[in-house]
Structure 1
Amino acid sequence: MPPVVRPYRGVAADERRRERREKLLDACLDAVAESGVSTVTVDDICARAGLSKRYFYESFGDRDAILVSALDDVIDTVGTALNELEQEHGSTEERVAHTAAALVRALTADPRSSLLYTEASANPALEDRRRQMVDRFTPLLMKAVLDADPADPRAEAATVLMIAGTTELLDRWLRGTLTFTEAEFVDTLTALGVALATSF
């Protein structure tokens, strides 16, 4: 017979674990925002969360695991935004504009999270997950933005170029290298996207 796990101060054990996990993820994002992906440590995350390593390893296997989990939250946000675009109609410019705005909103909703995406190349586990994200969303973007057949290699190449270029521009914009307002940034992405979408 399994042991009975009683609530602590009225909070069930599963809920306490969930709360600790969320605190650790939030602390991880703070650490990334302050010093970048490459310098994040388990010790730092635990100190920021006010939790012992025991509770860290209750939810995550290692540092890479929590970074990937945090990036997964970003991917889910982007996925939700892109799935809503599947029903979009209109001209190429309208589709590109809607997509650019949705991506910028999703990736900047929490500036800490966007760094996980733009700095993914600094961590092999994050880069692997980012590549999985690109593979997952490329067919969707091919249809939503280009209204193209996912089997068309030229359309695939154009879409991957859009994703890679947007990632680099987003990184520069977030770091202040590109001094656009959000509206100007979306307009710029739209103009570049339309130019690429209509070039083949």
Structure 2
Amino acid sequence: MSDSSRHTGGNTTSRSRRRGYRGLSAEELRKQRHQRLISAGTALFGERGYAATPIEAVCSQAKVSTRHFYEQFGGRESILHAVYDALVAEMESIIRNSLTSGRETLTQRVADTIESSVFFLLDDPRRGRIVCIEAVGVSEAMEKKRRETTHALAEIIRRYAELMADAGTLPQRDYRLPAVALVGMFNELVAEWLTEQTGLSAAEMAREAKILFRAMIFGAQHYEATDGSAPPLDENSA
């Protein structure tokens, strides 16, 4: 064999080591398996429930071996965290796009954003079940993640409430706690729709969340700004 043949053969062997199944690299295969596992976790946790879904079921649906599963995740809760994070990231993307697009007033954009967020969780009920039901009470680490998500979403609402206050739509005050309360309210609305017979479609429930937000905005316009020194409201001023 000539030097050139040996050289060519060596490159072919080297390339074959770098390429895996169907011509994909090891990293590309790893990413594909990761995405299939996330999709399978979303489907099974959202349909069967987290507690009723063993790792083997996730691997079977994703067509991934348990060995490859443990190369990417530490266990069942680990993939729940990843599924939850993926859903929250998708919802945050919807929120950012909705808040920054269109020519509607700021109040209308915020209301439409809330409607879009709730609809995202209900249009595919598996999303809402994972975020608002299956992730609840799993562990201290999962609860910490849920609180962080609540505060992150509440911070978006708080910032836009301050912009509305600057525009004169809302009184000047600290909107951190009202924003947290709104996020909690929407979580409960989603859970209610998923577990009870509300008689409303997903789109109707999303509009209900929008109506509640607008009711809060209009109601807040009738109260004086709070600075911590105002006297408590009596029954005649409420």
Structure 2 counterpart of 1:159? 179
Deviation string 1:32-87 (CA, Å, 9 cap, x unpaired) is 12321233321221232232210101111111111111111111111112222443
Alignment counterpart, residue 29 of structure 1, candidates 34, 37, 42:
42
**TM superposition shift of 1:153:** 6.9
Q: How many residue pairs align between the two structures? A: 195
Structure 2 counterpart of 1:51? 64
Give yes or no for the alignment of 1:39 onto 2:59.
no
Are 1:100 and 1:189, in contact at CA under 8 Å, matched by a contact in 2?
yes
Give yes or no for the alignment of 1:186 onto 2:206.
yes
| Secondary structure of the corresponding residue to residue 80 of structure 1 | helix
Are 1:95 and 1:144, in contact at CA under 8 Å, matched by a contact in 2?
no
Change over 3 Å in CA distance of 1:187–1:112 after alignment to 2: closer
AA paired with 2:213? G
User: Equivalent pairs: percent with the same residue?
Assistant: 26
Structure 1 counterpart of 2:82? 69
Structure 1 counterpart of 2:116? 102
Whole-Å separation in 2 of the counterparts to 1:91 and 1:17: 43
Change over 3 Å in CA distance of 1:183–1:43 after alignment to 2: closer
Structure 1 counterpart of 2:145? 129
Are 1:70 and 1:113, in contact at CA under 8 Å, matched by a contact in 2?
no
Change over 3 Å in CA distance of 1:58–1:148 after alignment to 2: farther
| Secondary structure of the corresponding residue to residue 144 of structure 2 | helix
Structure 1 stretch 71-80 or stretch 116-125: which is displaced more? Answer: 116-125
Gaps of 5+ in 1: none
AA paired with 1:43? E
Whole-Å separation in 1 of the counterparts to 2:186 and 2:219: 17
Alignment counterpart, residue 140 of structure 1, candidates 156, 176, 180:
156
**TM superposition shift of 1:148:** 4.8
Are 1:142 and 1:156, in contact at CA under 8 Å, matched by a contact in 2?
yes
| Secondary structure of the corresponding residue to residue 130 of structure 2 | helix
- The TM-score with structure 1 as length reference comes to 0.84
Change over 3 Å in CA distance of 1:39–1:28 after alignment to 2: same
**TM superposition shift of 1:187:** 2.5
Alignment counterpart, residue 195 of structure 1, candidates 196, 199, 215:
215
Higher relative contact order (CA 8 A, sep 6+): 1
Are 2:41 and 2:80, in contact at CA under 8 Å, matched by a contact in 1?
yes
Are 1:158 and 1:197, in contact at CA under 8 Å, matched by a contact in 2?
no
Change over 3 Å in CA distance of 1:84–1:51 after alignment to 2: closer
AA paired with 2:176? E
Are 1:27 and 1:49, in contact at CA under 8 Å, matched by a contact in 2?
yes
**TM superposition shift of 1:22:** 1.5
Give yes or no for the alignment of 1:114 onto 2:128.
yes
